[in-house]
Amino acid sequence: MSDRGQARTRSGVPIKPVYGPGDVRGAPPPPGEFPFTRGIHRDMYLGKPWTMRQYAGFGTPEETNQRFRYLLEQGQTGLSLALDLPTQLGLDADDEQALGEVGKVGVSICSLRDLETVFQGIPLDRISTSMTINATAAALLAMYEAVATGQQVPRNRVSGTVQNDLLKEFGARGAWLFPIQPSMRLCVDIIQDCVDRLPRFNPISIASHYRDAGANPAEEMAYTLSSGIAYVEACLARGMDVEAFAPRLSFFFYTYTNFFEEVAKYRAGRRIWARLMKERFGAKSPAAQMLRAACVCGGHSLTRAEPLNNIARVTLEAFAVTCSGLQSVFTAAYDEAFAIPTEQSARTSLRVQQILAEETEVAKTVDPLGGSYFVEALTDEMEAAIQRVMDEVAAQGGMVRALERGWVQQAISRRAYEWEQAVASGEQKVVGVNVARGDAPEEPELQAASQEAAERKVRELKALRAARSGESVRRALDGVRRAAAGGENLMPPIREAVQAYATVGEVARAMEDVFGRYSPPTRF
Amino acid sequence: MKIRVLIAKAGLDGHDRGAKVIAAALRDAGMEVVYTGLRAKVGAVAEAAVQEDVDVIGLSILSGAHLAICERLMEELRARGAEGIPVVVGGIVPAADRARLRELGVLAVFGPESPLPEVVRAVRALAEGDRSREIPMADEQQGVGA
């Protein structure tokens, strides 16, 4: 880009050739103090290193259990469950629409029995699990609690996260099911249930898939924090206490190779969120003002060309987020643009984090880049850039309205197209793709797709439906329908249903009977 | 006559960044583009292709369900006597599956880094009935790296 004059970050913030004391407004308060620019805790990784949490899951529950055990043996410190698309969309494995998708992008979970198998021999009182589940989050949360209960884990020690952020499904990720309003209601039901019953479970991870769909870093943070505002408002409208629910909100972001801008993005995001919570929503406790965040390193930043280069990319990205003080990190595997990871590629991406933690100084001091003229100045600039986009969203009537209108979706698609055009013209350089390019395409050895998952799941479902009490299931699903039609929290009847071995598909259908289905605007 | 293209997201995959970018690029290249939106049923894709009288079908699949979906699409097209409409696929397709897609009658496969001009050129050639040269299959393209 330098041949076009002024260098800019991916959010369009100008980059000066050199920064000095005049570019910095003064030192931000120490880590652990409002507005948490330098980190949410005083001792950060000195007290507790970030959680190394690799997204994993494919094929059958048995295959996923094996991969989980492997990752834990290799030193991973948390689990992250990848679910296949039928599970994410409330379709059982034998549904016509599940054709070709069972066990592909994650594990197929139809009933409680499957989740019991996934966590067999894994002590849920010591390991926390994040589940990337949204439209059917309620059913998976209820199952997870039931698995933990089956392991004699007391409720107050069940820990983990359900993503449960439907707004970004409408905006970017596409795994929606119900219309926006009932989706928001269900989401708040889950938050309320966790606040009341599961003190160590994060009921939502407000996620930034807008980035992977095309948004620039400032837009990514702005759309995600604007979603956060929508959830806070929905919880307040439910009559919940901000001091009780705000500390339970968690976030999830994407990190690419634009190292310094990523660091500035996280520092600025924490500052904006803390001010919002304090000034606009009256949150008094630090816990209610902190932006706690997990992240993925990888996604669209990884290339199919020369896949081993992706190890370097993910390393840079993970270094950026650990310099930024995030709480949990997922480093994607170098073969992500080909298939789900092999054991070897999954291990290598975990090793990236272990090298950072053990061989560099990043975990030995808090906010190691704090005070850098460039980083402090860029943090201020990013704060302004993020705030500008948040103001635009507010002018659209907030995130829910902006998504209903398709405004966010269009803005993101436009950015994605601009990016591809910039890559095509060579203005945006991508190593191995349009610069420093090798001659021959390379494909690493890939994880084979699970052949047996689909057939086996269909067989098992049939056996399950024959073995369980049809009467209990029917009664429980009626309860789900009644709660959906009325106003009471959906979690108790959903718990009853999954404990009776109702399937994810059956629970989803019961709700769909009442809520109907979302119909998206399809513009490009 | 403008070239007419159907961009389809069949299956359950919700990642439509690529589909929308390709749709925009084809539109800017002067083509008429119809986009199905997410989770179109395979039968509905074939039906739309016939109803909209398209010259090319572009199928976007990133979830690994490409073989099952393409098999079904070809059946649905044959059932409508529309097997002559060229089908191209974009998404995450391992090299090993490409031969099978070719057998099924898919004429080109594009990947995450297929350059936009290449995709536009291939779609135009197929729409104009130019099958005289083989359209390259993604990673086979020299230096493109998919």
Predicted local distance difference test score (pLDDT) of residue A80: 96
Residue A443 pLDDT level (bands cut at 50, 70, 90)? confident
Q: Which domain does B113 fall in, by range? A: 4-138
- Across the range A126-133, mean pLDDT stands at 97
Looking at the domain assignment, is residue B116 inside a domain? yes
Looking at the domain assignment, is residue A132 inside a domain? yes
Predicted local distance difference test score (pLDDT) of residue A441: 78
pLDDT tens-place string over residues A150-167: 999 999 999 999 999 999
**Residue A413 and residue A484 in one domain:** no
- Across the range A192-200, mean pLDDT stands at 98
Write the DSSP assignment of B90-139 as a string of letters: EE---HHHHHHHHHHTEEEEE-TT--HHHHHHHHHHHHTT--SSPPP-GG
Assembly ipTM:
0.91
Chain B CB within 8 Å of residue A430 CB: yes
Calculate what percentage of chain A has a pLDDT beyond 90. 93
Poorest-confidence range of A91-95, A351-355, A442-446, B74-78? A442-446
Looking at the domain assignment, is residue A366 inside a domain? yes
Q: Which helix (H) or strand (E) segment is A313 a member of? A: helix A309-323
Chain A residues closer than 8 Å to B69 by CB: 99-100
CB pairs below 8 Å between A and B: how many? 134
Side-by-side strand order, sheet with A204-207: A201-202, A160-162, A129-131, A78-81, A51-56, A328-331, A293-297, A249-255, A204-207
Looking at the domain assignment, is residue A432 inside a domain? no
Q: How many folded domains does chain A comprise?
A: 2
Across the interface, whether the CB atoms of B14 and A522 are under 8 A apart is answered no
C-alpha Rg value of chain A to the nearest Å: 22
Residue A524 pLDDT level (bands cut at 50, 70, 90)? low
Looking at the domain assignment, is residue B102 inside a domain? yes
pLDDT at B61 over 50: yes
**Residue A177 and residue A313 in one domain:** yes
Burial class (CB in 10 A: 0-12, 13-18, 19+), A435: exposed
Looking at the domain assignment, is residue B146 inside a domain? no
Chain A residues closer than 8 Å to B115 by CB: 423-424, 434
**Residue A385 and residue A479 in one domain:** no
**Residue A494 and residue A365 in one domain:** no
B107: left (phi over 0), alpha (psi -120 to 50) or beta: alpha
Mean pLDDT of chain A: 96
**Residue A413 and residue A481 in one domain:** no
φ and ψ at A349, to 5 degrees? -70, -30
**Residue A225 and residue A128 in one domain:** yes
pLDDT tens-place string over residues B92-104: 998 889 999 999 9
- Across the range B20-38, mean pLDDT stands at 97
Alpha carbon of A284: minimum distance to chain B alpha carbons (Å): 39
Looking at the domain assignment, is residue A29 inside a domain? no
Measured between alpha carbons, how far is A94 from A82 in angstroms, rounded to an integer? 19
Q: How many folded domains does chain B comprise?
A: 1
Chain B residues closer than 8 Å to A175 by CB: 14
Chain A CB within 8 Å of residue B104 CB: no
Looking at the domain assignment, is residue B145 inside a domain? no
Looking at the domain assignment, is residue A456 inside a domain? no
What would the two tokens of residue A410 be?
A: 């269009």
Q: Which of A303, A304, A442, A447 to mutate to test the interface with B (most CBs of B within 10 A)?
A: A304
Measured between alpha carbons, how far is B24 from A172 in angstroms, rounded to an integer? 17
Q: Which domain does A488 fall in, by range? A: 469-515
Q: How many CA atoms lie within 13 A of A478 on its CB side?
A: 6
Residue A2 pLDDT level (bands cut at 50, 70, 90)? very low
pLDDT tens-place string over residues A414-439: 999 999 999 999 999 999 999 999 87
Calculate what percentage of chain A has a pLDDT beyond 70. 99
Predicted local distance difference test score (pLDDT) of residue B124: 96
pLDDT tens-place string over residues A312-364: 999 999 999 999 999 999 999 999 989 999 999 999 999 999 999 999 999 99
HEC readout, A76-135: CCEEEECECHHHHCCCCCCCHHHCCCCCCCCECCCCHHHHHHHCCCCCCCCCCEEECCCC
Poorest-confidence range of A287-296, B18-27, B134-143? B134-143
Across the interface, whether the CB atoms of A339 and B64 are under 8 A apart is answered yes
CATH number for position B46: 3.40.50.280
Looking at the domain assignment, is residue A520 inside a domain? no
Across the interface, whether the CB atoms of A174 and B38 are under 8 A apart is answered yes
CATH number for position A57: 3.20.20.240
Predicted local distance difference test score (pLDDT) of residue A5: 77
The reported pTM is 0.96
Looking at the domain assignment, is residue A30 inside a domain? no
